């Protein structure tokens, strides 16, 4: 097995900078679209053979150094008892959003091996065939809470912040249930065979540093603490992290993912010499001419060398509009540039 990604996550010496991409299995690939045209999104997530097939695709076609389980962060939320659907125009929709104590009390903490058995089966299929490490994942408690409270995506997160500020006890009870769910879910993925897990805090960047520290970070810390001792690196990715680095540093994760809104050298300096970083090319940069993609990748790679370890990634997911040939070019360029930089 190619273990360069695992070594980088642990801050060990590597011959080149490993690369994988958030949403590397997605609509920018015609091979993915061909599968997706046959089933709806939730069915794809819940059918182990199909989920495994699209997980394999970017490993085989792009040459990335890790696979990430094909699923969605809201899958465990559905298992908690909320009705979930995906709209082509609106994205995820969670019906009957959380507004009261009765709503929270109705939620359950699922048993992943039973209620999410299709995820574990997908992991087992992948581990039997992959020649690179497998990343499992979950949404972070705050990010999942926003979807559950808002009923979907939001621009200002008014309902979430209203609950935080005006009904703190209710908010805490909801977060406790989500945290227990995420902990159990990630442990089950690790038991099934995931070799690294990533916690996605997609919306934590909407919080001030003080609010992040009070309303999001404690729950992430609790999860990471429970995963310690399982000998699996934990990546914590916060979208919009530039103003939160001081707080994120204390989360306890083995790898800290950063988005493109902060210079990689600044992130490495702020997070310290013991930090392993992941990131951080702007996904839209993949629309640039190839020579410019290469130049931007080289800049990030060179700055990533200042950290204890570096995993190359985008600052968020690959967009559907990105040409697949540019994504492949990026992966090859990262391998070539970083190997040369280490000679």
Give me the active site residues, please. 23, 27, 36, 72, 147
Taking the C-alpha atoms of residue 106 and residue 290, their distance in angstroms, rounded to an integer, is 52
- Taking the C-alpha atoms of residue 195 and residue 212, their distance in angstroms, rounded to an integer, is 28
3-state secondary structure of 135: strand
Of 2, 36, 41, 32, nearest to 19 by C-alpha is: 2
- Count CB-CB contacts under 10 A for residue 34: 11
Strand runs labelled E in 174-273: 196-201, 234-238, 255-257
- Please classify residue 7 by burial: count the beta carbons closer than 10 Å to its beta carbon, then call 0-12 exposed, 13-18 middle and 19+ buried: middle
In the chain, the N- to C-terminal Cα span, in Å, equals 23
Instruction: Tell me if 260 sits within 8 A of 315, measured CB to CB.
Output: yes
Judge contact between 98 and 149, C-beta under 8 A: yes
Distance (Å, rounded) from C-alpha 146 to C-alpha 153?
A: 8
Q: Are strands 91-94 and 84-87 parallel, antiparallel or unpaired?
A: antiparallel
Residue carrying structure tokens 């394999």: 56
If 0-12 CB within 10 Å is exposed, 13-18 middle and 19+ buried, where does residue 229 land?
A: exposed
Which pair of structure tokens corresponds to residue 179?
């945290």
Residue 63 carries which DSSP code?
Answer: -
Q: Residue 234 in contact with residue 254, Cβ under 8 Å?
A: yes
């Amino acid at each position: 097995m190619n273990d360069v990604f695992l070594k980088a996550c642990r801050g060990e010496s590597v011959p080149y900078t490993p690369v994988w991409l958030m949403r590397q299995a997605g609509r920018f690939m015609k091979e993915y679209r061909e599968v997706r045209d046959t089933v709806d999104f939730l069915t794809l997530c819940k059918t182990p053979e199909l989920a495994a097939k699209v997980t394999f695709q970017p490993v085989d076609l792009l040459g990335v150094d890790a696979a990430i389980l094909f699923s969605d962060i809201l899958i465990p939320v559905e298992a908690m008892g909320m009705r979930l659907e995906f709209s082509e125009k609106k994205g995820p929709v969670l019906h009957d959003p959380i507004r009261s104590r009765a709503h929270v009390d109705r939620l359950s903490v699922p048993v992943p091996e039973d209620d999410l058995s299709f995820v574990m089966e997908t992991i087992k299929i992948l581990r039997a065939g992959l020649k690179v490490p497998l990343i499992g994942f979950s949404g972070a408690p705050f990010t999942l809470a926003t979807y559950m409270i808002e009923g979907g995506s939001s621009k200002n997160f008014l309902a979430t912040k209203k609950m935080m500020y005006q009904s703190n006890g209710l908010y805490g009870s909801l977060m406790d249930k989500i945290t227990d769910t995420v902990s159990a879910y990630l442990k089950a993925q690790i038991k099934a065979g995931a070799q690294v897990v990533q916690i996605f805090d997609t919306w934590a960047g909407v919080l001030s540093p003080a609010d992040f520290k009070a309303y999001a970070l404690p729950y992430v810390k609790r999860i990471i603490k429970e995963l310690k001792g399982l000998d699996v690196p934990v990546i914590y990715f916060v979208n919009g992290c530039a103003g939160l680095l001081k707080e994120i540093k204390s989360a306890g994760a083995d790898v800290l993912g950063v988005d493109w809104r902060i210079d990689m050298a600044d992130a490495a300096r702020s997070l310290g010499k013991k930090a392993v970083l992941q990131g951080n090319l702007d996904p839209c940069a993949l629309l640039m001419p190839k020579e410019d993609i290469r130049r931007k990748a080289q800049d990030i790679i060179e700055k990533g060398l200042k950290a204890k370890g570096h995993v190359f990634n985008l600052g968020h997911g690959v967009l559907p509009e990105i040409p697949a040939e540019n994504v492949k070019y990026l992966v090859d360029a990262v391998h070539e540039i970083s190997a040369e930089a280490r000679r």
